[in-house]
């Protein structure tokens, strides 16, 4: 059962990060969603949940002889996969982030990129005199 808990927690952590990223970068995102407190809370929760899920999976591997994996666990594993897939499809259907163009995106190249530099011209003039 530790493996089921670990996989469910790992799935929930990844889905939380994906939902938060879609909301934060989506069109007309609320100001409180863009705050650093929400961002740091989501990132901390995701990292902590993912690490705890990995530790649960490692514990399952070390105790595999005493752990049972029967029809209940197989059904729960299938349920985790199905729910994760449904949630992932719903997240992908959320509005996409708006591409922000900066003010310097459409400027021409600098004018002094092709010719000789000023320092080279001075050295040549000094040697000729």
Cβ neighbours of residue 18 under 8 Å, at least 6 residues apart? 88, 91
Model pLDDT, residue 102: 64
d(CA 63, CA 66): 6
Model pLDDT, residue 2: 86
d(CA 54, CA 50): 6
One pLDDT digit (tens) per residue for the chain, 129 residues = 888 999 999 999 999 999 888 888 777 777 777 788 888 999 999 999 999 999 999 999 898 888 888 899 899 999 999 999 999 999 888 877 666 666 666 777 666 666 665 555 555 555 555
From the list 82, 94, 128, 75, the residue with the least C-alpha distance to 23 is 94
d(CA 14, CA 3): 16
d(CA 20, CA 14): 10
Model pLDDT, residue 37: 87
Model pLDDT, residue 70: 85
* Strand stretches in 1-129, DSSP E: none
From the list 60, 66, 62, 63, the residue with the least C-alpha distance to 4 is 60
Output the pTM of the full model.
0.66
Model pLDDT, residue 99: 62
Q: Are 10 and 82 in contact (CB under 8 A)?
A: no
């Amino acid at each position: 059962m530790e493996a089921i808990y670990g996989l469910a927690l790992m799935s929930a952590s990844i889905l939380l990060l994906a939902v938060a990223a879609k909301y934060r970068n989506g069109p007309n995102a609320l100001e409180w969603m863009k705050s650093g407190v929400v961002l740091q809370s989501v990132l901390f929760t995701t990292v902590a949940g993912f690490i705890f899920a990995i530790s649960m999976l490692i514990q399952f591997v070390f105790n595999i002889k005493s752990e049972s994996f029967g029809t209940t666990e197989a059904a729960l594993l299938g349920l985790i996969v199905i729910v994760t897939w449904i949630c992932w499809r719903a997240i992908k259907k959320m509005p996409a982030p708006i591409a922000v163009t900066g003010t310097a995106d459409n400027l021409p190249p600098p004018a002094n990129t092709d010719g000789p530099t000023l320092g080279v011209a001075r050295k040549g003039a000094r040697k000729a005199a």
